[in-house]
Amino acid sequence: MDKRRYPRRVCFVYVDYAVGGRWYHDAVSNVSPGGACIRTKRKFQPGDEISLGFSLLGLRAHIQGRIAWTDPRSIGLEFISISADEKRIRDVFDFRGKDVISTEKEIVEMGKISKRTIRWEPSTDAAKYRLYWSTEGPVGYESDFVELENKTQVILPDEVPVFPKIAGNVDLGITAVSAAGNESDITIARVNLDFTIPEAPKDLRVED
Protein backbone atom coordinates (compact mmCIF):
# COMPACT_ATOMS: atom_id res chain seq x y z
CA MET A 1 0.00 0.00 0.00
CA ASP A 2 1.38 3.41 -0.99
CA LYS A 3 1.44 5.60 2.11
CA ARG A 4 2.67 8.70 0.33
CA ARG A 5 0.79 11.81 1.29
CA TYR A 6 0.83 13.20 -2.27
CA PRO A 7 0.78 11.38 -5.63
CA ARG A 8 4.10 11.40 -7.49
CA ARG A 9 4.59 12.37 -11.13
CA VAL A 10 7.34 10.77 -13.22
CA CYS A 11 9.80 13.27 -14.65
CA PHE A 12 13.43 13.53 -15.72
CA VAL A 13 15.15 16.83 -15.04
CA TYR A 14 18.67 17.58 -13.83
CA VAL A 15 18.96 19.69 -10.71
CA ASP A 16 21.71 21.27 -8.64
CA TYR A 17 21.36 20.40 -4.96
CA ALA A 18 23.40 20.86 -1.80
CA VAL A 19 23.95 18.46 1.10
CA GLY A 20 26.34 19.32 3.90
CA GLY A 21 27.57 22.42 2.12
CA ARG A 22 28.65 20.52 -1.03
CA TRP A 23 26.85 20.93 -4.36
CA TYR A 24 25.92 18.04 -6.68
CA HIS A 25 24.17 17.59 -10.05
CA ASP A 26 21.81 14.63 -10.62
CA ALA A 27 18.41 13.84 -12.12
CA VAL A 28 15.00 13.97 -10.43
CA SER A 29 12.98 10.89 -11.46
CA ASN A 30 9.65 11.76 -9.82
CA VAL A 31 8.17 14.67 -7.90
CA SER A 32 5.08 15.63 -5.92
CA PRO A 33 4.04 18.74 -3.97
CA GLY A 34 5.57 17.15 -0.86
CA GLY A 35 8.75 15.47 -2.07
CA ALA A 36 10.88 14.03 -4.86
CA CYS A 37 13.21 11.20 -5.77
CA ILE A 38 16.74 11.91 -7.05
CA ARG A 39 18.62 9.22 -8.95
CA THR A 40 22.13 9.05 -7.49
CA LYS A 41 24.68 6.55 -6.18
CA ARG A 42 26.13 9.10 -3.76
CA LYS A 43 26.12 8.14 -0.09
CA PHE A 44 23.87 10.31 2.05
CA GLN A 45 22.07 9.71 5.34
CA PRO A 46 18.35 9.98 6.15
CA GLY A 47 17.78 13.22 8.01
CA ASP A 48 20.45 15.18 6.11
CA GLU A 49 19.24 18.65 5.15
CA ILE A 50 19.08 19.37 1.43
CA SER A 51 18.43 22.42 -0.74
CA LEU A 52 17.82 22.50 -4.48
CA GLY A 53 16.35 24.57 -7.27
CA PHE A 54 14.49 23.62 -10.44
CA SER A 55 11.47 24.52 -12.51
CA LEU A 56 8.24 23.51 -10.77
CA LEU A 57 4.79 24.21 -12.22
CA GLY A 58 6.33 26.69 -14.64
CA LEU A 59 8.16 28.63 -11.91
CA ARG A 60 11.76 28.60 -10.74
CA ALA A 61 11.49 26.93 -7.35
CA HIS A 62 13.95 27.14 -4.46
CA ILE A 63 13.43 24.20 -2.12
CA GLN A 64 14.52 23.35 1.41
CA GLY A 65 13.99 19.83 2.67
CA ARG A 66 15.51 16.72 4.20
CA ILE A 67 16.48 13.27 2.97
CA ALA A 68 13.74 10.87 4.07
CA TRP A 69 15.26 7.60 2.77
CA THR A 70 18.13 6.22 0.70
CA ASP A 71 18.83 3.15 -1.39
CA PRO A 72 21.83 2.18 -3.57
CA ARG A 73 20.56 4.12 -6.60
CA SER A 74 18.43 6.98 -5.29
CA ILE A 75 17.39 9.21 -2.40
CA GLY A 76 13.91 10.31 -1.36
CA LEU A 77 13.33 13.91 -0.32
CA GLU A 78 10.70 15.45 1.93
CA PHE A 79 10.12 19.12 1.13
CA ILE A 80 9.99 21.50 4.07
CA SER A 81 9.47 24.74 2.18
CA ILE A 82 9.37 25.99 -1.39
CA SER A 83 9.68 29.55 -2.64
CA ALA A 84 8.79 30.20 -6.27
CA ASP A 85 9.59 33.47 -8.02
CA GLU A 86 7.24 34.76 -10.69
CA LYS A 87 7.88 38.27 -11.95
CA ARG A 88 8.06 40.28 -8.71
CA ILE A 89 5.89 38.05 -6.53
CA ARG A 90 7.27 35.30 -4.31
CA ASP A 91 5.02 32.60 -2.89
CA VAL A 92 6.41 30.56 -0.01
CA PHE A 93 4.80 27.20 0.78
CA ASP A 94 5.30 25.30 4.04
CA PHE A 95 4.81 21.52 4.01
CA ARG A 96 5.23 20.91 7.75
CA GLY A 97 1.55 21.63 8.52
CA LYS A 98 -1.43 19.44 7.75
CA ASP A 99 -2.37 21.30 4.60
CA VAL A 100 -0.31 22.75 1.79
CA ILE A 101 -1.09 26.46 1.89
CA SER A 102 0.57 29.64 0.79
CA THR A 103 2.02 31.01 4.01
CA GLU A 104 3.78 34.08 2.69
CA LYS A 105 3.55 36.42 -0.27
CA GLU A 106 5.86 39.35 -0.62
CA ILE A 107 7.28 41.73 -3.20
CA VAL A 108 10.89 40.92 -4.07
CA GLU A 109 13.46 42.75 -6.15
CA MET A 110 13.96 41.11 -9.53
CA GLY A 111 16.51 43.30 -11.29
CA LYS A 112 17.81 42.28 -14.71
CA ILE A 113 21.30 40.72 -14.67
CA SER A 114 23.53 40.59 -17.75
CA LYS A 115 24.41 36.95 -18.50
CA ARG A 116 27.90 35.55 -19.15
CA THR A 117 28.61 32.38 -21.13
CA ILE A 118 31.48 30.16 -19.96
CA ARG A 119 32.82 27.72 -22.60
CA TRP A 120 35.52 25.03 -22.66
CA GLU A 121 36.92 22.49 -25.12
CA PRO A 122 35.52 18.97 -24.57
CA SER A 123 37.57 16.11 -23.14
CA THR A 124 37.36 12.83 -25.06
CA ASP A 125 37.28 10.82 -21.82
CA ALA A 126 34.77 12.95 -19.90
CA ALA A 127 31.53 11.48 -18.59
CA LYS A 128 30.79 14.87 -17.02
CA TYR A 129 32.50 18.08 -15.97
CA ARG A 130 32.89 19.98 -12.72
CA LEU A 131 32.80 23.76 -12.73
CA TYR A 132 34.59 25.16 -9.67
CA TRP A 133 34.71 28.74 -8.45
CA SER A 134 36.35 30.77 -5.71
CA THR A 135 35.85 34.39 -4.73
CA GLU A 136 38.50 34.24 -1.99
CA GLY A 137 41.83 33.06 -3.33
CA PRO A 138 42.90 30.42 -5.84
CA VAL A 139 40.35 27.89 -7.02
CA GLY A 140 40.99 24.22 -6.20
CA TYR A 141 39.38 20.84 -5.64
CA GLU A 142 38.05 22.01 -2.26
CA SER A 143 36.24 24.99 -3.83
CA ASP A 144 32.49 25.13 -4.47
CA PHE A 145 31.42 23.37 -7.66
CA VAL A 146 28.55 22.02 -9.71
CA GLU A 147 28.58 18.93 -11.91
CA LEU A 148 27.57 19.33 -15.55
CA GLU A 149 26.66 16.56 -17.98
CA ASN A 150 26.45 16.81 -21.77
CA LYS A 151 27.65 20.42 -21.71
CA THR A 152 30.71 22.32 -22.90
CA GLN A 153 29.29 25.68 -21.93
CA VAL A 154 27.17 27.14 -19.17
CA ILE A 155 25.31 30.45 -18.86
CA LEU A 156 25.92 32.30 -15.62
CA PRO A 157 24.10 32.92 -13.40
CA ASP A 158 20.93 31.38 -14.90
CA GLU A 159 22.13 27.78 -15.25
CA VAL A 160 23.97 27.71 -11.91
CA PRO A 161 21.53 29.24 -9.38
CA VAL A 162 24.02 28.80 -6.52
CA PHE A 163 26.74 30.84 -8.24
CA PRO A 164 27.53 33.94 -6.13
CA LYS A 165 25.91 37.12 -7.42
CA ILE A 166 28.79 39.46 -6.69
CA ALA A 167 30.95 42.03 -8.45
CA GLY A 168 34.68 41.40 -8.65
CA ASN A 169 37.33 38.86 -9.61
CA VAL A 170 36.34 35.20 -9.56
CA ASP A 171 38.61 32.21 -10.12
CA LEU A 172 36.90 29.60 -12.31
CA GLY A 173 38.07 26.05 -12.83
CA ILE A 174 36.84 23.23 -15.05
CA THR A 175 37.71 19.54 -14.76
CA ALA A 176 36.73 16.40 -16.65
CA VAL A 177 35.42 13.42 -14.65
CA SER A 178 35.57 9.93 -16.17
CA ALA A 179 32.89 7.26 -15.85
CA ALA A 180 35.08 5.63 -13.18
CA GLY A 181 35.04 8.85 -11.14
CA ASN A 182 38.61 9.92 -11.88
CA GLU A 183 39.10 13.68 -12.17
CA SER A 184 41.46 15.63 -14.42
CA ASP A 185 43.72 18.55 -13.61
CA ILE A 186 41.90 21.89 -13.27
CA THR A 187 41.91 24.33 -16.16
CA ILE A 188 41.73 27.75 -14.49
CA ALA A 189 40.67 31.22 -15.58
CA ARG A 190 40.39 34.41 -13.57
CA VAL A 191 37.48 36.56 -14.72
CA ASN A 192 35.86 39.78 -13.60
CA LEU A 193 32.12 39.41 -13.19
CA ASP A 194 29.37 41.74 -12.06
CA PHE A 195 26.08 40.07 -11.18
CA THR A 196 24.93 42.84 -8.85
CA ILE A 197 22.11 45.21 -9.73
CA PRO A 198 22.12 48.97 -9.14
CA GLU A 199 19.72 50.65 -6.77
CA ALA A 200 16.48 51.59 -8.50
CA PRO A 201 15.70 55.29 -9.05
CA LYS A 202 13.26 56.78 -6.57
CA ASP A 203 10.41 59.24 -6.60
CA LEU A 204 9.22 58.89 -10.21
CA ARG A 205 6.71 61.64 -11.00
CA VAL A 206 5.34 63.83 -13.74
CA GLU A 207 5.60 67.59 -13.32
CA ASP A 208 3.79 70.40 -15.16
Instruction: Report which of residues 123 and 5 the model is more confident about.
Output: 123
For the entire predicted model, the pTM comes to: 0.53
Beta bridge partners of 154: 118
Give the per-residue pLDDT at 139.
94
Instruction: Report which of residues 97 and 81 the model is more confident about.
Output: 81
Under 8 Å between Cβ of 77 and 36: yes
Judged against a pLDDT cut of 70, whether residue 57 lies above it is answered with: no
Give φ, ψ of 31 to 5 degrees.
-150, 150
Could you tell me where the beta strands, DSSP code E, fall in 108-179? 116-119, 128-134, 144-148, 153-156, 167-177
Give the per-residue pLDDT at 60.
60
Instruction: Report which of residues 90 and 50 the model is more confident about.
Output: 50
Instruction: Report which of residues 94 and 193 the model is more confident about.
Output: 193
**Nearest residue to 25 (alpha-carbon basis) of 151, 121, 206, 190:** 151
β 101-107/89-94 pair status: antiparallel
Judged against a pLDDT cut of 60, whether residue 14 lies above it is answered with: yes
Give the per-residue pLDDT at 92.
43
Domains of the chain in start order, with CATH, are: 9-107 (2.40.10.220), 116-194 (2.60.40.10)
**Nearest residue to 25 (alpha-carbon basis) of 124, 156, 123, 130:** 130
d(CA 177, CA 181): 6
pLDDT in tens, 115-171: 899 999 999 889 999 999 999 889 999 988 888 888 899 888 888 877 888 889 999
Give the per-residue pLDDT at 108.
42
What does DSSP assign to residue 110?
Answer: -
Residues 6+ apart with CB under 8 A from 197: 109, 111, 112, 113
What does DSSP assign to residue 183?
Answer: B
Under 8 Å between Cβ of 121 and 112: no
Residues 6+ apart with CB under 8 A from 175: 129, 130, 132, 183, 184, 185, 186, 187
Distance, CA of 187 to chain centre: 23
Judged against a pLDDT cut of 70, whether residue 106 lies above it is answered with: no
Under 8 Å between Cβ of 151 and 100: no
Give the per-residue pLDDT at 159.
82
Helix, strand, coil percent content, the chain, rounded in steps of 5: 0, 55, 45
Under 8 Å between Cβ of 2 and 9: no
Judged against a pLDDT cut of 60, whether residue 101 lies above it is answered with: no
